[in-house]
Amino acid sequence: MPEQQSRGPFLRRVVAHVELVSDADKRAKVERFRQGRRSRRPEEQARIERHILDPASYQMNVTLAADLDDGRRITAGGFGFGGPRYGVGAIWHRYRGPQLSDDPEENDRLLNETYRVGLPDIEDAINQMLGRDPDQHRPPRLSWGHLQDALDKVGIKVTEDDLIALPLEIELSEPVQAEIAPD
């Protein structure tokens, strides 16, 4: 733990609260996008809008918080991630289920037909964005900045490594739970 914490409140854990971006929020994003830069070609604009509104894909937003030993929770902005809802593309980092076939092509076919984004994919996405999984590609900038700034405002200076070392609790909103629930 950082030296500054030895004289004040201690960080107990980090909480990542996950929300599903609603269809209404996606439509609002498209509308804001349309009101923005006008220099795009119409076909490029249409492609971007289709991507945002694609019902086969999901988008989730993560809010980060730090729980302190004095009972306070310091909350800050976080980051977003998303991807396909179904198939091999929905697997964020690695598949954790049973092997579906000894034949690799058949195994992939079955995954494409049956796999649905789940809690392990959400955990992998969060761990990647926060640099918590050494087996995953580490983004050039980790997503701790907003939480570090919020903690700094209450007199707690922490490094990314300090935050990575803390326990992480993932809280799923009801819409996220419904999204990843088995059919």
CB 75 within 8 A of CB 67: no
45 pLDDT band, cuts 50/70/90, is confident
Instruction: Please give the pLDDT value at position 2.
Output: 46
- In sequence order, the 6+-apart residues with CB closer than 8 A to the CB of 33 are 48, 49, 52
The pTM of this model reads 0.84
| 6 has pLDDT over 60 | no
Ramachandran region, residue 87 (left: φ > 0; alpha: ψ -120 to 50; beta: rest): left
Q: What is the DSSP letter of 168?
A: E
pLDDT digits (tens, 9 = 90+) for 98-154: 888 899 899 999 998 999 999 999 999 999 999 999 888 888 889 999 999 999 999
